[in-house]
Structure 1
Amino acid sequence: MRTFRHRTAALTAASTAVLALALTACGGDGAATKSAGPAPSDSAAAGDSGRPAEQADTSQGNDAAKDGATAHTTGKTGAAKGSGTGGNGSGAAPACNTKDVAISAAYQDGPPYTHIVLTAKNTSGHRCTLKGYPEIQFLESHRENVPPVAKSKPQLPVVLNPGDPAYALVKLSDGGVDENNEPVTDFSVTLQGGSGQAAVKAPGREGIAVDPAKWATGYWTYELRNGADDF
């Protein structure tokens, strides 16, 4: 009986020693874990701003977007201010006077001569605008101007640079032998919006034959156009 008690006591003492060693080892691991300290916070990773890193990057992106939008708006404003009236600047060209252009007349096609073509050439040293149609007076007995044909009116004003010509088709008669025609060797032309009156020599040795019931004139154009100038 004594021997069993001694063995039991020895086993108990050994078990106690092993348990103490195990607890010591566990206590050492816990101490090592505690000594590492807490993990760095998100605020520390973000820096002095106190914002998370991802939030700081997003804010910087928003600031850049705002700067870009401001620059885009400024560019539009600058473009709007810089925009002006385009085109050839016809509004700045004054109306042509009879001193600015040389006006001549020529037959169109062969006999019977029912039409002539007026040519107005800019002989000045500046640009000018030929407005409307030529105001023509063929006869002293008929002081009214030759009426215009509406379909020949161009969409834009005729602006002539120095040396440039413009044209107007003029109907004299229908070419019938029974018409009440009157001979004309020269006639006058006035330019709308301008000043002065030009004396124009009629083509041909004997001049032209006009019928006040049939005559008509087209508007000034850069060139004669089929359809619009057929009358």
Structure 2
Amino acid sequence: MSSSKSTGSTHVAGGAKSGAAGCTTKDVSVSADRHGGPPYTHIVLTAKNTSGRSCTMTGFPEIQFLESHRENVPTVAKSKPAAPVVLKAGAPAYALVKLSDGGVHEGNEVVTGFSVTLQGGGGIAAVTVPGEGGIAVDPARWATGYWTYQLRNGADTF
């Protein structure tokens, strides 16, 4: 994970300049990894800046897991960083995503892929779930955090 420093009121990852344009799906690659577990109740989204320029990750990932539930996964306000996340070329941003409370539950549905929309007109990325057999998500329990430079104990625990 990249170190952060502050330039004025904007935090900067690895020395990127503040005021950078918003990241798009052409600028970043989005992937998912299991977090903790078993049982696997969370995943971590990683958006790595693959462009040759700095860009800003706006807000939070807008996630749609299920065709049967067309609403976005709700956000957790306490995970919002104090300043925009500006990524230098090659730097990552992270977002923690709660899937369920764990265990088998009749409200859980297994998915093998999902979509992530980058806010600010950044486009939509198709994401394959980690591991084999998919992941179980519960629309009554799911939640997502904001994009951050690193997962922070407390703010990103939900």
- TM-score, shorter chain, exceeding 0.5: yes
Structure 1 CA distance for aligned equivalents of residues 156 and 80 of structure 2: 9
Structure 2 CA distance for aligned equivalents of residues 109 and 126 of structure 1: 33
Tell me whether 1:199 sits opposite 2:126 in the alignment. Answer: yes
Is this contact kept in 2: 1:130–1:158, CA < 8 A?
Answer: yes
Structure 2: gaps of 5 or more residues: 1-6
Shift of 1:110: 2.3
1:152 corresponds in structure 2 to 79
Runs of 4+ in 1 over 6 A off after TM superposition: none
Q: Could you state the TM-score of these two structures normalised by the residue count of structure 1?
A: 0.61
1:30 corresponds in structure 2 to none
Amino acid at match of 1:170: V
Amino acid at match of 2:123: G
- % identical aligned pairs: 75
1:225 corresponds in structure 2 to 152
Shift of 1:90: 1.8
Tell me whether 1:188 sits opposite 2:119 in the alignment. Answer: no
Q: By percentage of residues, which structure has more helix?
A: 1
Q: Secondary structure at the residue paired with 2:89?
A: coil
Instruction: Find the partner of 2:18 among 67, 90, 95.
Output: 90
2:37 corresponds in structure 1 to 110
Shift of 1:133: 0.2
Shift of 1:178: 3.0
1:168 corresponds in structure 2 to 95
Structure 1: gaps of 5 or more residues: 1-84
Shift of 1:196: 1.9
Q: By percentage of residues, which structure has more strand?
A: 2
Deviations 1:157-195 (A, max 9, x none): 000000000100000000132341000100000100133
Amino acid at match of 1:221: T
Tell me whether 1:122 sits opposite 2:49 in the alignment. Answer: yes
Higher relative contact order (CA 8 A, sep 6+): 2
Deviations 1:33-78 (A, max 9, x none): xxxxxxxxxxxxxxxxxxxxxxxxxxxxxxxxxxxxxxxxxxxxxx
Which structure has the greater CA radius of gyration? Answer: 1
2:3 corresponds in structure 1 to none
Q: Could you state the TM-score of these two structures normalised by the residue count of structure 2?
A: 0.88
Shift of 1:112: 0.7
What is the aligned residue count?
Answer: 146
1:210 corresponds in structure 2 to 137
